[in-house]
Amino acid sequence: MSHPDTLSVHAGYQPDSTGAVMPPIYLSSTYAQRAPGEHSGFEYGRSGNPSRQAFEQALAELEGGTAGFAFASGLGAMTTVMELLEAGSEIVAVDDLYGGAWRLFEQVKARSTGLKVRYVAPDDLTALRSAITPATKLVWLEVPTNPLLKFPDIAAITEIARGVGALTVVDATFVTPYLLKPLEFGADIVLHSITKYLNGHSDVIGGAVIVKDPALADKLRWLQNAVGAVLAPFDSFLALRGLRTLALRMQRHSSNALTLARWLQQQSGISDVIYPGLASHPQHALAQRLLPKGQSGVISIRLNTDIAGLRRFVAALKLFTLAESLGGVESLINHPWSMTHAAIPEALRIQRGIGENLLRLSVGIEHPDDLQADLAQALAAI
């Protein structure tokens, strides 16, 4: 299966002896053994589950990896990856990143393990090259970053990291393996929030990690079992079902977002439109090279108004729902300042360009004319 459109429909499972075209949901927490220590591949639900295994195999196939691991949340996946590091380790991370990742690094791991993080602008390769030293154990990237949609040069950065023996992690939640496979650019670990585009229906919380190196896979398999933040069987079933329409959804998300981004650029009530598919994006050429099939469905905008005007705009929306998260079939709108990035100190938010007038749109698969009309009437309310 050479085409990702086909692979997303068939990856991870073939009809079993019953002929079921979708894997059953195995809810058992434990499994009978033939004799002490002799089992048929499954012994305890945390260690392995057939429903989760089917989904994990699909993830590995879609990303071009050797192994995939599914977790109870994106942060559960991040936390398990961080357990690869020894106490007191130093990492380099992009400075525009998910607020939950910043909270994990600075308010949990810095306290519990002495983690040291050096933050660098993702689009400044010179600064990244200087920041990655022999003391660096891991480099944390997002493609694109959240919420300002910047692009690190994955291939160049992974080469620098490999030169000092550091692992490179790429959170590719916004693009999915349909649009980008970071392992092909040298990344060691690909991470996703399953909650977003992979599942695609806003009804599952989950996280995923995919790797190519068998030795690294063995370490993560041990940690997944030891830490225990595994994805439940029913959620695994739902997430695999979501994968089956990934190609179609990402095509529609991307085309809708590009249509809306072009229109938003023409609106006087908006001072800035950030979308990698626009020629005005500072890294448009890199984005086109990395994501030739589309630039996904996330747009960030800055309204030309104060916080009161922003509140009027959000309150007037009828199709865009004000909510955390992204990547579902429905359109959502998020206020990073008070929602996803509220854990970051105010001064740091301002320094990094996350002001009160910034909004992040997750463009769904509705008809673009209806979404445009919704935004237009909301802009009129400012």
- Which residues form the catalytic set? 46, 98, 171, 196
**Residue 170 backbone zone (phi > 0: left; psi -120 to 50: alpha; other: beta):** beta
CA angle 109, 113, 114 (to 5 degrees): 90
How far is it, in rounded angstroms, from Cα 205 to Cα 238?
A: 10
Q: Cβ distance 68 to 210 under 8 Å?
A: yes
DSSP state of 288: H
What's the burial of 108, exposed, middle or buried (CB within 10 Å: 0-12/13-18/19+)? middle
Q: Residues of 276-298 as b/e, b for ≥16 C-beta within 10 angstroms?
A: bbbeebebbebbeebbeebbbbb
Cβ neighbors of 235 (< 8 A, separation 6 or more) are: 204, 205, 206
Q: Residues of 242-253 as b/e, b for ≥16 C-beta within 10 angstroms?
A: bbbbbbebbbbb
What's the burial of 215, exposed, middle or buried (CB within 10 Å: 0-12/13-18/19+)? exposed
Count of Cβ atoms closer than 10 Å to residue 356 Cβ? 18
User: Is the C-alpha dihedral spanning 88, 89, 95, 100 positive or negative?
Assistant: negative
